[in-house]
Amino acid sequence: MSNIIVAQNLTLSYERDEEIIKNASFFVRKGDFVFITGPSGSGKSTLLKSFYGNIKPQSGTLLMGGLDMSKIKKPKLQELRSHLGIVFQDYKLINEWTVERNVVLPLWIAGYSKEVQQTQAKRLLHHVKLSGKEHKYPLELSGGEQQRVGVARALAKNPFLILADEPTGNLDDYSSNVIWDLLENACQQLETTVVVVTHKIPSVFNIPYRHFTIDENGAIYEVH
Amino acid sequence: MKFIKQHISLIFPMVAILLGLEFFIAFDRTTKGYENSLRDNYAMLVVANDEMSIDDFKSWDSHVYKVTEIEKSKILNKVDSSLQATKDSNIHNKIPNFYSIKLNKYLNEQELERVKQNFLKSDKVKRVETFDTLHNSNYGLFSSIKLSFQTFIVFMTIIGFFLIIKQMEVWNFMHSQRMKVMDIFGASLFLRSKVLIVMGLIDAIISALIASGVFYIIQNVWIRGKHIAILEDNVDALFEFHDVFTLCLVSIVIVMVAVFLVVINVKEE
C-alpha cells in the first residue's frame, strides 16, 4: 500500500514560538484510519494543520501525497487542498450560504455543473441524515447538524484523505455516532484515508485503526 | 434593506470622490480658457542692443512662444513726437531694440523671474520688464480661487477615501470567514474574491452613473435655464460625454484596489 503521509524528523513551530512537534517520524498508508491523541496544547491540531499546508515544517520532511510541504507553492497547495476533505471542531461553515451550497463547496470550486452539485448534495445530505434541510442556513441548525453538514462537505468530492480536527468535540451522542459511522464507511468502502485528531477515541469503533499519540514534549509515538 | 445598506456604504463615498474628480476636471477645463486669455494678454518687454530673432529668445528660455519687435518709430513717437518729426537717423540708430515677448504658459512670479534672469544672462539684453505687479494681481486672484476650490476637492476626496477604508473593514468582517474557508478547500484567489469583485464592479458603475447624472442635471437643468452669462459661456465645458467613461474607469480602479487590499489581507487561521 502506498504512503499518503510521510514525516521524517518533522519539527513544527509557529513563528518565533518554541517547537511544538519535535523530530517526528511516521507514515500513514492509503486506507488507514488514524487517531491522533494527546494532552491539550500538545500540538495535535498544529500537526493536522501542517497536513493541509496551513503551517510549514520548520525542519525535516513532510510529504503529502508525494508533495513536499516545505517547498510547496500556492497553486500546487490549492490543488492538493481541493483533493482533501477537512472537518473542523468549529465547523467552519459559510453562514450566509445555504446548507446545500456549503455541502457542494468543493464541487463548486472544482467547477462541477449545477446538476452534479444538486445530485451530490441530495445524496450527501441523505447520508448525514439532513434531508429536507437543503435550504436552511447553518445558524438555523443545531451544533450536531452543523457538524454533519461539515462532514458532508468533506465527503463531497470523494477525497483521498479526510482530516478531522475534534469532529465530535462538542456534539451529542447521536450526532457523534452519525459522524463516526460516516468516517468509518468512507474509510472502509471508499478506501479513503482518515486522520482524526481527538482527545478521546470512541469506545465503540467498528474498523481497525492506528493510534498515534503526542506527549508533552512534542514527540509522536504509535500506540500498539 | 441590508442589501441596499451594503451597496450605499460604498456608493456614497465613491460618488463623493467622483463628484470631486469631475468638479476638478470641469474646473480645469473652464479655467483653461481664462488662463489662456490671461496668457495671451500678457507680454514681457525686452530691451536689447542687437537685433534678435525668436530663435535667440527660445534658446535662452523654452517658455518663449512669440516675439514681436516694436518699431523704433513708434517708440520715438511715444517718447516725443518732435523727435520723430526730425527724422534724425542718428537718434534712430542709437536707441536699442524693443521686443514684446509672449509666453506659451501663464507663469507665476518665480517662474517669470527665472525667465527674466535667463534673458539677462546674455550680453545682448540690456533690460527686461516683466510688469509683474499687474501680472501678480491677476495671477494671485486666479490662483487663490483655484487653490481654494482644489482644497475643497482634496478634502472631499480624503473624506471619501476614509469612508472607503471603513467600508473595507466592513468587507473584511463580512467576507473574511468565507474566503478563509474557500482557501482551505483550495479555491483560487479569483474564486475567493469573486463575490467582492462583482459587488465592487456594480457599485463602481452605479457610482460613476450617479456622479455623471448629477453633472448632467447641473449642466442641462440648473445652468442652462438660469441665463447667467458667466455660467452659460462655459456650460459645455462643464460636462462632456466622455467624462462618463473617465469616471467609470477611475471608479473601477479605486474599487478594485480596495477589493484587492481586502483580499490579500485575509490571512489563514
Is A167:A89 a contact under the CB 8 Å cutoff?
yes
- Which among A54, A81, A96 is the nearest to B185, CB-wise? A81
Query: What angle is formed at CA A209 by the lines to CA A206 and CA A214, rounded to 5 degrees?
Result: 135
CA distance A180 to chain B (A): 22
Q: Which residues of B touch A (CB under 8 A)?
A: 177-178, 180-188, 191, 268-269
pLDDT at B18: 92
Residue B185 φ/ψ, nearest 5 degrees:
-90, 15
**Residue B249 pLDDT class (50, 70, 90 cuts):** very high
B196 & B253 share domain: yes
Contact A109 B268 (CB under 8 A): no
Contact A79 B186 (CB under 8 A): yes
The residue type at A217: N
Contact A78 B186 (CB under 8 A): yes
- Local structure of residue B219 (DSSP, 8 states): I
Domain, as residue range, for B210:
2-37+145-264
**Residue A99 pLDDT class (50, 70, 90 cuts):** very high
**Residue A137 pLDDT class (50, 70, 90 cuts):** very high
Determine the Cα–Cα distance for residues B235 and B243; give it in Å rounded to an integer.
14
**Residue B229 pLDDT class (50, 70, 90 cuts):** low
**Residue B9 pLDDT class (50, 70, 90 cuts):** confident
B13 & B121 share domain: no
B53 & B178 share domain: no
Residues of A in contact with B187 (CB under 8 A): 78, 109
Residues of B in contact with A78 (CB under 8 A): 186-188
Is A155:A83 a contact under the CB 8 Å cutoff?
no
pLDDT at B136: 64
- Which among B181, B186, B187 is the nearest to A92, CB-wise? B181
Q: Which helix (H) or strand (E) holds B209?
A: helix B189-217
Q: Which CATH number fits domain A1-83+161-170+191-224: 3.90.1150.10, 3.10.580.10, 3.40.50.300, 3.40.30.10?
A: 3.40.50.300
| Complex prediction ipTM | 0.88
B158 & B256 share domain: yes
- Which among A54, A79, A93 is the nearest to B268, CB-wise? A54
Listed by start position, the domains of chain A span 1-83+161-170+191-224, 84-158
Q: Which residues touch B187 (CB under 8 Å, ≥6 apart)? A: A78, A109
Cell for A193? 484515508
Average pLDDT of the residues of chain B: 83
Residue B136: inside a domain: no
B103 & B233 share domain: no
- Distances in Å between the Cα of B119 and the Cα atoms of A9, A193, B57, B116, B131 are 79, 87, 7, 5, 15
**Residue B179 pLDDT class (50, 70, 90 cuts):** very high
B151 & B260 share domain: yes
CA distance B262 to chain A (A): 18
CATH of residue B88's domain is 3.30.70.3040
Contact B185 A106 (CB under 8 A): yes
Nearest CA in chain B to A104: B185
pTM: 0.73
- Which among A54, A82, A96 is the nearest to B186, CB-wise? A82
Residue B12: inside a domain: yes
Determine the Cα–Cα distance for residues A145 and A138; give it in Å rounded to an integer.
8
Look at strands A193-197 and A161-165 and give their pairing: parallel
